[in-house]
Structure 1
Amino acid sequence: MNTDRGGSDAGTKESRLQQIAAHGDHFGYDAHMRRRALRIASGVAVIILGFAVGSFFALLPERNTADVEEIVKGLNRLIGLMTHEIVELPEVQKHPETFIIEIIAILVGYTILKHTAEDHDDYRRAFRRIEQFYTPRARRQGWELCAVCVILATAVIVAVHAVIAVWGMHWPVSFASGLSRTGLAVGCWLYIYGLVMGVRTNLFLYNFKALRLINIYELGVKESDTRRGTQLAEKKLCDFSVSLTSFATIFGVLGALALYFLPTLRTTYFWIPLAATLGVTFVIKWIVVHYAKTKYEPDFD
């Protein structure tokens, strides 16, 4: 009897979620998150692909013309303005075409990511909280898609580097480097797209991150003191998580740029600082979010 009742309760909840989803995705959330997954993956892939194309252009003979030097100087000034003169790159480049392509790719990718972040912030300001409408099946399908993308990404990266390991010794270094980065660009696109598509079904995480955009003095003003205290504590955890992400991203990007552009530090493994800092940050953020859900909204799903 208890088993039948448990099954009936589960069926009722599944049916309720299906009805919500059918009317539902009331705020265009799913379509918004699918666009976000595509744009974030594309923004990162454009940057990596720019470095891949730059490596291929390094196969061209070295040459510096007055026109190219002026373009390099202009890009350097633009980067100085965007970074408040924190980053200043050498104006004399060994392969200026490579430098120009890489900087343009960084700017295009950064613009895509910046606009995507701004759009998501606007969405969260409009819809500060969304109740669960994904069915267990829909959530499972999201993570199954993520798993498929991870497998494909890993296969692409391993296959490309296996080809380089077997035949790459006969190729120019720049060609092998460009091929390696092309494989990484495709792999990263798949990793990021799959991850964001899986995470999109975690509406507690969406609600948790949306707290960042709520004025702390407006938070819970119409709630009881107990509920307001809970929301304030949850917002403090959210602010910590966001600050940690911002610091790690800036630190990782600066480290990667230093290992790529500075002559005394340059290495083909320039991406390691960014990958390492983001990896550690991801683990810490997962712990923070898991703690927040367990403590403040254990029955959300």
Structure 2
Amino acid sequence: MTATTPKDTMIAVIGGSGIYDIDGLEDAQWVGVDTPWGAPSDQILTGRFDGVKMAFLPRHGRGHVHSPTEVPYRANIDALKRLGATDVISVSACGSFREAYAPGDFVVVDQFIDRTFAREKSFFGTGCVAHVSVAHPTCPRLSDACETAAKAAGITVHRGGTYLCMEGPQFSTLAESKMYREAWGCDVIGMTNMPEAKLAREAELCYASVAMVTDYDSWHPDHGAVDISDIIQTLQGNSDKGRAMVKGLPTLLGATREDCPHGCDKALEYAIMTAPDKRDPALLAKLDTVAGRVLG
């Protein structure tokens, strides 16, 4: 059995503007990170909480300047890994397809259906082709910590669920909403977790998704069309809950960690298909942080 070397934990939270305002964050500073994939959504807030390194990245940028389609997903994941992130937690708003998943509840997602079509979805391509498994796209260890922290904060949390990621920026039609719920068996819907989860897997980062329910989408006969004013009101309450959950994670995850027992940090072990002598040096240079472990 190969020996493992413990490494420093860095919890990276990708979320909205209300999530990174954590009371007690020590040595807090906003840092800029350059990546070969362009600029990330914003500067990244770094610091420590309970002795554990943390990083907070506003997915849409401060002031909500990036639409779901235009979020620089590749730059975001690359930037977090460059900073030393080991565990990435997505905190995002979602609509619910289940009566029991009410506005204000949290869902620890474990599956996705990707319906996006206008986004770059991989770090790899012509000159260095790779295929990673996303059969189980979230890390059970990290999801366990999120569930435990949410429950400890008094949040109603549901473990497991399928997240339908739509392109947006418009909300679903009634026909789409009913199809996703009834024919496809989805549990929640959002616009941002894809290709984020796929890219985190390619970057060999543990990834967990916490979907904060803001509405019932348009399928619910008693709620009608999605109302953005209602969503914003619920979002404000969810931000308080999200901060409470995040504050519980450092103690659960600890300041150091071993290799992921589920293999998230070895996702590229056998994924790269292009022969060494056929690989594009320019693309390899861009992959230095994401895939440097296996590319040498």
Q: TM-score, length-normalised on structure 1? A: 0.24
Structure possessing the higher relative contact order (Cα contacts under 8 Å, 6 or more residues apart): 2
Q: Which has the higher strand share?
A: 2
* Higher gyration radius (CA): 1
Instruction: Compare the two structures and name the one with the higher helix fraction.
Output: 1
